């Protein structure tokens, strides 16, 4: 009875993380004039962060007083969204295989290592998006 909850917990956690990832995607500020990009953090998918005042945008992009912030926009960071989907899928399948507890010790150790690498990648992606 105890073993049946492990895969179920992995499935529930995986679906929860994927749902949160889709509801709160990473956003970026982009200067269309210079192609400069800066993180705008994670926000609800229907409420993007507002483009800040010219003074704040100059501070975010480290611009000097004479440089223009006329062509600033905010949009989802699709590269990071796709990377998050890949990493969460990686974690989900590795966690599911580990939770089943089948296979040789070598296979379980390898999947444990793969899971650890995926977890580090997930942490890096969250840090990158902040």
Q: For the chain, give the mean pLDDT.
A: 85
Q: How far apart are CA 18 and CA 15, in angstroms?
A: 5
Domain count, the chain: 2
| Domain match, 69 and 89 both | no
Q: Assess whether pLDDT exceeds 90 at residue 44.
A: yes
| Domain match, 30 and 55 both | yes
Read off the pTM.
0.75
Total residue length of the chain: 130
Q: What percent of the chain has pLDDT over 70?
A: 92
What SS3 string covers 20-84?
A: HHHHCCEEEEEECCCCEEEEEEECCCCCCCCCCCHHHHHHHHCCCCCCCCCCEEEEECHHHHHHH
What's the domain range around 46? 26-76
């Amino acid at each position: 009875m105890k073993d049946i909850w492990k895969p179920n917990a992995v499935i529930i956690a995986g679906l929860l993380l994927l749902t949160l990832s889709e509801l709160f995607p990473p956003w970026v500020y982009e200067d269309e004039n210079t192609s400069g990009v800066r993180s705008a953090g994670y926000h609800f998918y229907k409420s993007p962060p507002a483009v800040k005042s010219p003074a704040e945008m100059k501070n975010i992009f480290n611009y000097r007083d004479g440089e223009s912030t006329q062509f600033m926009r905010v949009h989802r960071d699709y590269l990071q969204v796709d990377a998050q989907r890949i990493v969460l899928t990686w974690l989900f399948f590795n966690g599911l295989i580990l939770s089943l507890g089948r296979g040789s010790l070598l296979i379980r150790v390898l999947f444990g290592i793969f899971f650890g690498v995926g977890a580090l990648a997930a942490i890096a992606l969250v840090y990158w998006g902040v």
